[in-house]
Amino acid sequence: MKKMKNAAVLLMAGLMAFSCAACGGSGTSKETTKSSESAAQESSGGSSEAIQIATKPMTEQYILGEMLKAVIEDSTDYSAEITKGIGGGTSNIHPAMEKGEFDLYPEYTSSGWNMVLGHDAADISDEEMFEKLKEEYEANYNMTWEGLYGFNNTYAVIVRKDVADQYNLKTTSDLAAVSDQLVFGGNPDYIERKDGFSLLAEAYGLNFKDVKDIDIGLKYQAIEKGDIDVTNGFTTDAQLGRDDVVVLEDDKHLQVNYLCSTVVRKEALEEYPGLEEALMKMDGILTDKEMAGLNYQVEVEGKDEAVVAKDYLVSKGIIKE
């Protein structure tokens, strides 16, 4: 029988500072901890304890946690509880998973590859990385990765749609020929870091007319006003659910990928028969744009993440209404 989550973990969830989980993502001011009120009935034949789900402190993860809960409770007789917004993300959730305080959580491939296993994400295909993640997590931690949700939360080059249409921009390489006519605006840390703007400009031969420091929270407003033409972001940013911006393809594969999946303890799969099948219903259900759209509904439109998650799963025929 797994250990129940303890007071230290709950305190950590509520008090630790928000931090990025994969390569980025948007935060939220929502409360960091919520849990289900129901418990699985003894007559189910499985454990009477709720399945414990952890999420990182970002809107995207809150939505995914609610999706996992909904899929589990719709597909099995078990209940699930979510601890939302664990400060430190991977660095605190993974040790808690090892202790049995959580059963599963949404994780990103390059985060696990680098932060947990200590490997370099360069020069390895997504397919090889995913297989090795499963092998090494099972061998070292008695955990595995179940399926891939379908989206990739990584760095992106974003262009105002009217500019993309005017110059027929589809890839970042297309940008090189017209960059001297455009203004780039990026948050200061991206412009200054070695693997940020300078690497992008060098790799793609970009020479912008002007480069402006823009606060990370104001970049999309600057694009909307026409103050800048191009910016950096992440492929599932809530603002990418809008119709006035375009994400250019990283055709030189400069950025490493952060594909999202479910990390689950093998003991939990044994303790809860049917859990693995339920989790696999998340496989391939989201594109980058769809995930961005769901983030937009929560962050911009103010909808509850549980409602957004359920509505999406129902629309895809994954759970019953």
Same domain assignment for residues 126 and 163:
no
| Alpha-carbon Rg for the chain in angstroms | 20
User: Is 95 part of a structural domain of the chain?
Assistant: yes
Same domain assignment for residues 140 and 273:
yes
Same domain assignment for residues 21 and 167:
no
Query: Which residue reads 């994780």 in tokens?
Result: 107
Locate all alpha helices (DSSP H) within 117-196, ordered by sequence: 126-141, 161-167, 172-176, 188-192
Query: Which residue reads 């390895």 in tokens?
Result: 124
Contact between residue 48 and residue 40 where contact means Cβ atoms under 8 Å apart: yes
Same domain assignment for residues 49 and 179:
no
Q: Mark 61-97 as b/e (b = at least 16 C-beta within 10 Å).
A: bbbbbbbbbbbbbebbebbbbbbbbbbbbbebbbebb
Predicted TM-score of the model (pTM): 0.78
The total of other beta-carbon atoms located within 10 Å of residue 277's CB is 13
For residue 24, what is the domain's CATH number?
3.40.190.10
Q: Name the domain boundary from 214, 248, 282.
A: 248
pLDDT of residue 258: 93
| CA–CA dist 249, 56 (Å, integer) | 27
Q: Name the domain boundary from 221, 248, 275.
A: 248
Domain that holds residue 166: 155-248
**Direct distance between the N- and C-terminal alpha carbons of the chain, in angstroms, rounded to an integer:** 32
The tens-digit pLDDT sequence of the chain (321 residues) is 444 444 344 434 443 433 344 544 444 333 333 333 333 333 334 455 899 999 999 999 999 999 999 999 999 999 999 999 998 899 999 999 999 999 999 999 999 999 999 998 878 999 999 999 999 999 999 999 999 999 999 989 999 999 999 999 999 999 999 999 999 999 887 888 777 899 999 999 999 999 999 887 788 999 999 999 999 988 999 988 778 999 999 999 898 899 999 999 999 999 999 999 999 999 999 999 899 999 999 999 999 999 999 999 999 999 998
pLDDT of residue 166: 97
User: Is 84 part of a structural domain of the chain?
Assistant: yes
Same domain assignment for residues 116 and 13:
yes
Of all helices (H) and strands (E), which one includes residue 64? helix 59-75
Hey, what's the torsion of the CAs at 101, 26, 33, 315, to 10 degrees? -90
Q: In the β-sheet with 155-160, what is the strand arrangement from edge to edge?
A: 210-213, 183-186, 230-234, 155-160, 245-248
Q: Whose CA is closest to 97, among 114, 110, 83?
A: 83
Query: Under DSSP, is residue 201 helix (H, G, I), strand (E, B) or coil?
Result: helix
Same domain assignment for residues 99 and 204:
no
Same domain assignment for residues 144 and 104:
yes
Contact between residue 211 and residue 240 where contact means Cβ atoms under 8 Å apart: no
Q: Name the domain boundary from 192, 224, 248.
A: 248
Same domain assignment for residues 20 and 148:
yes
Same domain assignment for residues 34 and 103:
yes
Number of domains in the chain: 2
| CA–CA dist 229, 63 (Å, integer) | 30
User: Is 174 part of a structural domain of the chain?
Assistant: yes
Same domain assignment for residues 126 and 54:
yes
User: Is 2 part of a structural domain of the chain?
Assistant: no
User: Is 1 part of a structural domain of the chain?
Assistant: no
Query: Under DSSP, is residue 79 helix (H, G, I), strand (E, B) or coil?
Result: coil
